[in-house]
Amino acid sequence: MGKSAVASMFRAAGVPVFDADAEVHRLQGPGGALLGAIEARFPGTTGPHGVDRPALGARVIGQPDEMKALEAIVHPAVAASRRAFIAHHSAYRIVVLDIPLLFETRGERQMDLVAVVSASPFIQRRRVLRRPGMTDQRFARIRATQMPDHQKRLRADVIIETGCPKWRTRAQVSRLLACLRRSLVR
């Protein structure tokens, strides 16, 4: 149980959740708006089913200049989708933005509150290595591009622990929502 499970808990409580990863997949999927720009910059990394993620990953992971070029294509499109999501849900007092690279992109400056979903390095590694196609080497390259968890924890307003039983994490989410709802009462 990690970030996705916590997002599901917010959804179950009636809170709209913007999933940046899902939006990237949509933008890079079949007919996605970013396919042309990605293919132009990284030839051979797209096809009829969208972006060939392993091929694109092989081109950018561990290559800072290539990663920056990809981010220059992807991040503005995701930011536009995020703004549209917020506008669409303007009647809601609370929305959750599930953004994996929030600190790395300095996005925390635009947030009212930042909650970091966290687990021990051992649990994080175990979860990630369960994903299809993931290896220790690939995991290490990905981790090298991300801010360490302990730094995210220091910068967060709230930490939601997921290296514990699910009921405990659910209780943390419930307490956070209750606190937010109380603070938003006029």
Indicate whether 7 and 39 sit together in one domain: no
Domain hosting residue 66, numbered range: 20-91
Last residue of a domain, one of 48, 66, 91: 91
Indicate whether 101 and 186 sit together in one domain: yes
Indicate whether 12 and 104 sit together in one domain: yes
Indicate whether 83 and 136 sit together in one domain: no
Indicate whether 76 and 62 sit together in one domain: yes
Indicate whether 143 and 167 sit together in one domain: yes
Indicate whether 66 and 140 sit together in one domain: no
20-28 vs 64-88: helix crossing angle, rounded to 10: 110
Indicate whether 139 and 178 sit together in one domain: yes
What pLDDT does 1 receive?
Answer: 58
Last residue of a domain, one of 28, 56, 91: 91
pLDDT one digit per residue (tens) for the chain, 186 residues: 588 899 999 999 999 999 999 999 999 999 999 999 999 999 999 999 999 999 999 999 888 899 999 999 999 999 999 999 999 999 999 999 999 889 988 889 999 999 999 988 888 888 888 888 888 888 887 777 788 889 999 999 999 999 898 999 999 999 999 999 998 765
For 96, the enclosing helix (H) or strand (E) is strand 96-98
- Would you call 85 exposed, middle or buried from its count of C-beta atoms within 10 A (0-12, 13-18, 19+)? middle
Last residue of a domain, one of 58, 91, 124: 91
Helices (H), the chain: 3-12, 20-28, 35-41, 53-60, 64-88, 121-129, 136-144, 149-155, 166-183
Is the separation of the CB atoms in 86 and 176 below 8 Å?
no
Report how many domains make up the chain: 2
